[in-house]
Amino acid sequence: MNIPFVRELEFEYGVVDRLSPLVRRIVAKNPSPFTYYGTGTYVIGNGEVAVIDPGPDLASHVDALEHALAGESVTHIMVTHTHRDHSPAARLLQHRVGGMIHAFGPHGSGRPEAGGAVEEGADHDFTPDIRLRDGDSIKGSDWTLQAVHTPGHCSNHLCYRLPEERTLFTGDHVMGWSTTVIAPPDGDMQAYMRSLHRLLEADDAIYWPTHGPAIREPRSFVHAYIAHRESREAQILDCIRAGETTIEQMVKRMYAEVDPRLHPAAARSVLSHLIHLVETGRASTPAVPSLDAPYTIHP
């Protein structure tokens, strides 16, 4: 199944756009192969508002947020996860407009056994004022945000549901323009697949990712996301059968049409798939699964 990507996005950097009666967005000017056009920061509500994913440590973006929020009361600053394109501006924005910072916890907080450094791009300096857990609910004057723990891309990844508009803010868990990087040790493919299946239990009408445009048919999109991951695992097993037993060889074959700048991230996703395949007995390696290890499959 092909993923029905949507890549067109009309916006102007630093300008607040009204997306619905309860949702506005300001896009940061931090485009890259990983952030697409940049980080989309969401403002929820009117008058008394919450901010989701304040974004990177980028003065122009924090200035734009402060300007957009003038005359309103910021009660909550919500972070989906601790990558540097999502969380560093939380404390900077708080110093200007107030609001308590909410998130699952510091980086790696959902995988204490991982320890140490995790994937490049982690915000190790982040600590929330209030830690959220799955199912926690926060209310404003005209809105409600419900925390949905969706580990996989990051162990501390949260989506936020806005039930008043049947909307889910998906962070990097599901994106309309691209698949999500799953980079061990904090990224976990098995957890990611469980988190995708969990979204199918809800009746959300629209997803707003932190990067890129809205996903307006979320259930079919998630089904396609799941099918894509299952197809990747089949490709990996085919590579091994063909004698391409290292991740470097697999990436060259599987991602031949992808921007080479993304190949290191793709290698991490392949590793995450292989960890999952080893854990479920469909592949094996003589050592601990790693980027350099050789892999085999059972006859």
- 109-128: pLDDT as tens digits: 554 443 334 344 899 999 99
**Which residues share a beta bridge with 41?**
26
CA distances from 148 to 31, 57, 158, 162, 173 (A): 27, 26, 5, 11, 11
For residue 229 the two structure tokens come to: 């991951």
Q: Could you give the residue range(s) of every CATH 3.60.15.10 domain in the chain?
A: 17-225
Lowest mean pLDDT among 67-71, 271-275, 285-289: 285-289
pLDDT of residue 110: 53
pLDDT tens for residues 99-108? 999 999 999 8
Dist. CA 25–CA 290, nearest whole Å: 39
Task: Give the pTM.
Answer: 0.93
Question: 176 and 7 in contact (C-beta within 8 Å)?
Answer: yes
Q: Mean pLDDT over residues 170-189, rounded? A: 93
Architecture of domain 17-225: 4-Layer Sandwich (3.60)
The pLDDT tens digits for 227-258 are: 999 999 999 999 999 999 999 999 999 999 88
Q: Supply the pLDDT for residue 119.
A: 43
pLDDT at site 112: 43
pLDDT band at 146 (very low <50, low <70, confident <90, very high): very high
Residue of 160 and 261 predicted with greater confidence:
160
Q: Is there a contact between 281 and 298 (Cβ–Cβ < 8 Å)?
A: yes
